[in-house]
Structure 1
Amino acid sequence: MDSSGDGVGDLRGIAQGLPYLSWLGVDAVWISPFYPSPMKDFGYDVSDHGHVDPAFGTLEDFDALVAEAHRLGLKVVLDYVPNHTSDRHPWFEESRSSRDSPKRDWYLWRDPDPGTGGPPNNWLASFGGPGWTYDDATGQYYYHAYLPEQPDLNWRNGEVRAAMLGVLRFWLERGADGFRVDALRQLFKDELFRDNPPNPDHDPEGSPYDALLPVFSTDRPEVHEAVRGMRAVLDGYGGKLLVGELYLPIERLVAYYGEDGTGVHLPTNMHLIPTPWNAREVASLVERYEAALPEGAWPNWVLGNHDRSRIASRVGAAQAPVAAMLLLTLRGTPTIYYGDEIGMHDVPISPEKTQDPWERNVPGRGLGRDPERTPMQWTAGAKAGFCPPDAEPWLPVAEDHDRTNVAAERDDPASILTLHRRLLALRRATPALASGSYTPVPATGDALAYLREADGRRFLVALNLGHAPHHQLVPETGPTTRGRVILSTHPDREGEETDGELRLRPDEGLIVELLD
Structure 2
Amino acid sequence: MVMQRPPWWKNSVFYCLNVKTFSDGNGDGWGDFPGLTQRLDYLKWLGVGCIWLMPFHPSEDRDDGYDITDYYAVDERLGTLGDFVAFVHEARAHGIRVIGDLVINHTSARHPWFLRSREGRDSPYRSWYVWVDEPPPGDGEPIAVFPHDDPSPWRYDDRTDQYYLHQFYRHQPDLNLANPEVRAEIERVVGFWLQLGLSGFRVDAAPHLMLGTGRGGQTSACDVHAYIAELRSFVTSRCPDAILLGEVNRPYKEAARFLGRQSGTGDELTMCLDFEGMQQMHLALARRDPRLLTESILRRPVPPGTGRWASFVRNHDELVLDLLSEDERNAVFQAFGPDENMKYQGRGLRLRLPTMMRGDLRRIKMVYSLLFSLPATVVLLYGEEIGMGEDLEARGRLSVRCPMRWEPGSGSDAASSAPPVKPVTQERDPDGVCVQAQRDDPDSLLSWIRLLIRLSREYTAFGGDDFLPLETAAAHALAHLRQHEGQNVLCLHNFSKEPAEAAVRLELGEREGPIELTDLLHPGDSYQAEPSGDAVVRLDAYQSRWLSVAEGERHLQ
Alpha carbons 1:250, 1:292 under 8 Å: kept: no
**Change beyond 3 A, Cα 1:89–1:113:** closer
Partner of 1:447: 477
C-alpha separation between the residues in 2 aligned to 1:483 and 1:310? Answer: 38
Partner of 1:286: 297
Partner of 2:55: 33
Partner of 1:467: 497
Alpha carbons 1:321, 1:416 under 8 Å: kept: yes
1:502 paired residue among 537, 541, 545: 537
Q: Counterpart of 1:336 in structure 2: which amino acid?
A: L
1:99-138 counterparts in 2 under 5 A? 99-112=121-134, 123-126=143-146, 128-129=149-150, 130-138=152-160
Partner of 1:363: none
How far does residue 321 in structure 1 lie from its aligned partner after superposition? Answer: 0.7
Partner of 2:379: 335
Partner of 2:336: none
Cα deviation digits, residues 268-314 of structure 1 (max 9, x gap) = 1122433311312122211221x464576433212211112322233
2:516 equivalent to 1:483: yes
Partner of 1:174: 196
Partner of 1:423: 452
C-alpha separation between the residues in 2 aligned to 1:268 and 1:81? Answer: 16
C-alpha separation between the residues in 2 aligned to 1:22 and 1:425? Answer: 11
Q: Counterpart of 2:236 in structure 1: which amino acid?
A: D
1:401-416 counterparts in 2 under 5 A? 401-416=430-445
Alpha carbons 1:312, 1:319 under 8 Å: kept: no
1:320 paired residue among 356, 359, 364: 364
Partner of 1:303: 313
SS of 1:463 mapped into structure 2:
strand
Q: Counterpart of 1:375 in structure 2: which amino acid?
A: P
C-alpha separation between the residues in 2 aligned to 1:388 and 1:395? Answer: 7
1:181-220 counterparts in 2 under 5 A? 181-189=203-211
Between 306-315 and 90-99, the greater mean CA deviation after superposition: 306-315
Alpha carbons 1:378, 1:407 under 8 Å: kept: yes
Alpha carbons 2:129, 2:175 under 8 Å: kept: yes
C-alpha separation between the residues in 1 aligned to 2:99 and 2:213? Answer: 32
How far does residue 5 in structure 1 lie from its aligned partner after superposition? Answer: 3.2
Cα deviation digits, residues 145-203 of structure 1 (max 9, x gap) = 111111000001010011011110000000101100111111112769xxxxxxxxxxx
C-alpha separation between the residues in 2 aligned to 1:470 and 1:121? Answer: 48
**Change beyond 3 A, Cα 1:417–1:66:** same
Q: Counterpart of 1:312 in structure 2: which amino acid?
A: P
Partner of 2:18: none
C-alpha separation between the residues in 2 aligned to 1:112 and 1:253? Answer: 31
- Structure 1: gaps (5+ residues): 193-215, 357-367
Partner of 2:228: 227
Alpha carbons 1:5, 1:391 under 8 Å: kept: no
Cα deviation digits, residues 383-405 of structure 1 (max 9, x gap) = 20333645535223223441111
C-alpha separation between the residues in 2 aligned to 1:175 and 1:441? Answer: 44
Alpha carbons 1:96, 1:104 under 8 Å: kept: yes
2:378 equivalent to 1:375: no
SS of 2:258 mapped into structure 1:
helix
Cα deviation digits, residues 441-482 of structure 1 (max 9, x gap) = 113411111111123221100011111111112323224563
**Change beyond 3 A, Cα 1:494–1:323:** farther
Partner of 2:325: none
Between 259-268 and 78-87, the greater mean CA deviation after superposition: 259-268
C-alpha separation between the residues in 1 aligned to 2:25 and 2:255? Answer: 38
C-alpha separation between the residues in 2 aligned to 1:347 and 1:464? Answer: 30
SS of 2:372 mapped into structure 1:
helix
Alpha carbons 1:304, 1:340 under 8 Å: kept: no
- Structure 2: gaps (5+ residues): 1-22, 320-350, 530-534
**Change beyond 3 A, Cα 1:512–1:221:** farther
C-alpha separation between the residues in 2 aligned to 1:21 and 1:299? Answer: 23
Alpha carbons 1:461, 1:511 under 8 Å: kept: yes
Partner of 1:263: 268
SS of 2:414 mapped into structure 1:
coil
C-alpha separation between the residues in 1 aligned to 2:383 and 2:548? Answer: 30
Partner of 1:252: 254
Cα deviation digits, residues 209-263 of structure 1 (max 9, x gap) = xxxxxxx99xx67111110111111211111111011111111001111131311
Could you say what the CA RMSD is over the residues aligned between the two structures, in angstroms?
2.4
Between 272-281 and 166-175, the greater mean CA deviation after superposition: 272-281
**Change beyond 3 A, Cα 1:457–1:189:** same
Alpha carbons 1:35, 1:48 under 8 Å: kept: yes
Q: Counterpart of 1:370 in structure 2: which amino acid?
A: L
**Change beyond 3 A, Cα 1:97–1:372:** same
SS of 1:112 mapped into structure 2:
coil
C-alpha separation between the residues in 2 aligned to 1:389 and 1:380? Answer: 13
Alpha carbons 1:257, 1:267 under 8 Å: kept: yes
Alpha carbons 1:110, 1:120 under 8 Å: kept: no
C-alpha separation between the residues in 2 aligned to 1:384 and 1:108? Answer: 45
C-alpha separation between the residues in 2 aligned to 1:372 and 1:3? Answer: 22
C-alpha separation between the residues in 2 aligned to 1:22 and 1:266? Answer: 23
SS of 2:278 mapped into structure 1:
coil
C-alpha separation between the residues in 1 aligned to 2:183 and 2:206? Answer: 14
Alpha carbons 1:270, 1:303 under 8 Å: kept: no
1:42 paired residue among 64, 68, 80: 64
Partner of 1:362: none
**Change beyond 3 A, Cα 1:413–1:227:** same
User: TM (normalized to structure 2)?
Assistant: 0.79
SS of 2:40 mapped into structure 1:
helix
C-alpha separation between the residues in 2 aligned to 1:465 and 1:494? Answer: 23
How far does residue 122 in structure 1 lie from its aligned partner after superposition? Answer: 7.9
C-alpha separation between the residues in 2 aligned to 1:286 and 1:295? Answer: 19
How far does residue 24 in structure 1 lie from its aligned partner after superposition? Answer: 0.5
**Change beyond 3 A, Cα 1:166–1:418:** same
Aligned residues: 467
How far does residue 70 in structure 1 lie from its aligned partner after superposition? Answer: 0.5
Q: Counterpart of 1:298 in structure 2: which amino acid?
A: R
- Quick one: percent identity of the two aligned structures? 34
Alpha carbons 2:406, 2:434 under 8 Å: kept: yes
Partner of 1:213: none
Q: Counterpart of 1:301 in structure 2: which amino acid?
A: S
Alpha carbons 1:87, 1:151 under 8 Å: kept: yes
